Amino acid sequence: MRPLYNSAERIASAVENGEISAIELLDEIFERIKAVEPKINAFITLAEDKAYEKAKDIDQRVRKGLKVGRLAGVVVAVKDNICVKNVETTCGSKILKGYFPSYNATVIEKLDMEDAVIIGKTNMDEFAMGSTTEFSAYKTTRNPYDLERVPGGSSGGSAAAVASGEALLALGSDTGGSIRCPAAFCGVVGLKPTYGLVSRYGLIAYANSLEQIGPIARNVRDCALSLSVIAGYDPRDSTSLTVQPKDYLEDLNATYDLKGVRVGIIKEFLAEGVQESVASKVLDTIYSLEELDASIGEISLESLEYALAAYYVIAMSEASSNLARYDGLRYGLRVSDQGLNWGRAYAKNRRLGFGEEVKRRIILGTFALSAGYYEAYYLKALKVRTLVLMDFQRAFKEFDVLAGPSMPTVAFKIGEKMEDPLELYMCDVNTVPANLAGLPAISIPCGLSEGLPVGLQLIAPPMEESRLFKVSHSCESLGKWSFTLKP
Ligand code: GLN
């Protein structure tokens, strides 16, 4: 078997039945990392010893005929804002340099219980603020399809690691598109689950009312398998939904018949600024679902015009509060504070610890929450958020899933959008609505435009991840896309 060319699902069963050992697989992955990582820069930290220890344990159990988990031996890369016990977790920021969490995030415990092998922590925009991974304090990750281009972000390292075969699966987090954007740019599948479906315990907060941890995978089935492992109620996350664990793969065994499934194209998702070649790939794929008897229509969600602005006000406001805890005393970086009173010592740590973009957002968020401006900005943004939710609720009376491009363009050149922050924010126009409304949304690759992947986004009502998987798996089954290792 050639492990690098197989799905996570196939690998797990091969490890379970002794066709390949977890150690052999890990050796192979490290070979691959040695070959491509100098070009890609997907990882901030590799956890080689920990990975080998886990792989050894799995192999021993297989040899003894003991039970192994659903992800036996599957190598997983984890975004660097998710806590892994005793592995440095920086959130892409200097301010957390040297922070080694004393506990595992719930998702990490769940992966471990199913015998996944965690290989390292992936590069990201600092505190998940960005769409290109260029705001990392550590390195610039490159797009495996074109090394001159960004991988998307903020979970750029995770998507690039999967696309380049440095991991079989990855975890990312998505506050306003950070899983779907890099998935689209790197030609992989990425899911932002329903808000509350996956525990956020151990996820370092950026904007907690918007974000979810989710999987990035080579194909839809691997994505569904990963969600089956990480989803579920967690008493340690107060926003966690009380839902029974579910096997999302079960629904994917059927043959494809989408009779009765109504797919609605969101008109605003195809507005000005969407690259023509992107729109045409996406529309081609959506209309090809007619071959499977789906019915396709169009719908307008008028509130989406204000979604991006509302998102940035809310996200920055929450960030300004969430990031207040970084004082340089409790975690990570601590600069010399000799002779300084505590106020000055905090200020110095924060000045030297945070990057430009993070500071910009803390300042804007603090402004939006301050007396006299709160009503004009924060409160107004919350009202827009409600309107967006209501628009989606209305749309789901007419359609089962909503669709459009994940990103308005293909991956752009490194540095191209670093001058003007607003220009970069605009790229999130199609991804933020699902976060505002707490809805599940997936990005799947649907073809290439000038050699670069195009992502199709599908959005479903809350808790209808199965529906998303079914429709996206159908798209896959039409054979327009299959995963290939890059570079
Ligand atoms: N690009 C968006 C932002 O910068 C989304 C980031 C994310 O989902 N973490 O806020």
pLDDT in single tens digits along all 487 residues of the chain:
788 999 999 999 999 999 999 999 999 999 999 999 999 999 999 999 999 999 999 999 999 999 999 999 999 999 999 999 999 999 999 999 999 999 999 999 999 999 999 999 999 999 999 999 999 999 999 999 999 999 999 999 999 999 999 999 999 999 999 999 999 999 999 999 999 999 999 999 999 999 999 999 999 999 999 999 999 999 999 999 999 889 999 988 766 789 999 999 999 999 989 999 999 999 999 999 999 999 999 999 999 999 999 999 999 999 999 999 998 888 777 887 788 898 898 999 999 999 999 999 999 999 999 999 999 999 999 999 999 999 999 999 999 999 999 999 999 999 999 999 999 999 999 999 999 999 999 999 999 999 999 999 999 999 999 999 999 999 998 888 899 999 9
Q: How many helices and strands in the chain, by DSSP H and E?
A: 15, 11
358-to-99, 129, 353 alpha-carbon distances in Å: 18, 7, 10
CATH code for the domain in which residue 130 is found: 3.90.1300.10
The number of angstroms, rounded, from the C-alpha of 253 to the middle of its chain's C-alpha atoms is 25
Split into its structural domains, the chain has a count of 1
CA distances from 403 to 270, 478, 479 (A): 10, 17, 19
C-beta 176 within 6 A of ligand 1: yes
- Between CA 135 and CA 361 the distance in angstroms is 13
How far apart (Å, rounded) are the C-alpha atoms in residues 459 and 177? 12
| Residues in a beta bridge with 214 | 172
Helices 8-16/220-230 angle, 10° precision: 70
Q: How far apart, in whole angstroms, are the C-alpha atoms of residue 46 and residue 88?
A: 10
pLDDT of residue 255: 65
Which positions ≥6 away from 35 have C-beta within 8 Å?
Answer: none
Angle between helices 220-230 and 465-477 (to 10 degrees): 160
- Please state the φ and ψ torsions of residue 472, each to the nearest 5 degrees: -70, -35
Which of 181, 423, 424 should be mutated for ligand 1, with most atoms under 8 A from CB? 181
Q: Provide Rg for the chain, Cα atoms.
A: 21
Q: Which H or E run contains 397?
A: helix 380-398
Q: Using a 6 Å cutoff on CB, does residue 308 contact ligand 1?
A: no
User: Does the CB atom of residue 172 touch ligand 1 within 6 A?
Assistant: no
Pocket perturbation via mutation, ligand 1, pick of 79, 82, 91, 131 by most ligand atoms within 8 A of CB: 131
Give CA separation, 297 vs 257, 279, 463, in Å.
Answer: 18, 15, 23
Which atom belonging to ligand 1 lies closest to the Cα atom of 424? 1
Are the beta carbons of 130 and 112 closer than 8 angstroms? no
HSE value, Cβ hemisphere, 13 Å, CA-based, for 10: 10
Mapped onto helix, strand or coil, the DSSP state of residue 232 is coil
Is 364 close to ligand 1, i.e. is its CB under 6 Å away?
Answer: no
441-449 and 43-46 strand pairing: unpaired
From CA 402, how far away is CA 475, in angstroms rounded? 14
* Residues labelled catalytic: 79, 154, 178
Write the DSSP string, 152-192. Answer: -SSSHHHHHHHHTTS-SEEEEEESSSTTHHHHHHHT-EEEE
Q: Can you give the pTM of this predicted structure?
A: 0.97
Nearest atom in ligand 1 to 312's CA: 10
- Domain with 423, as residue range(s), is 1-487
Distance in angstroms (rounded) separating the CA atoms of residues 441 and 190: 9
Name the token pair of 412. 């752009």
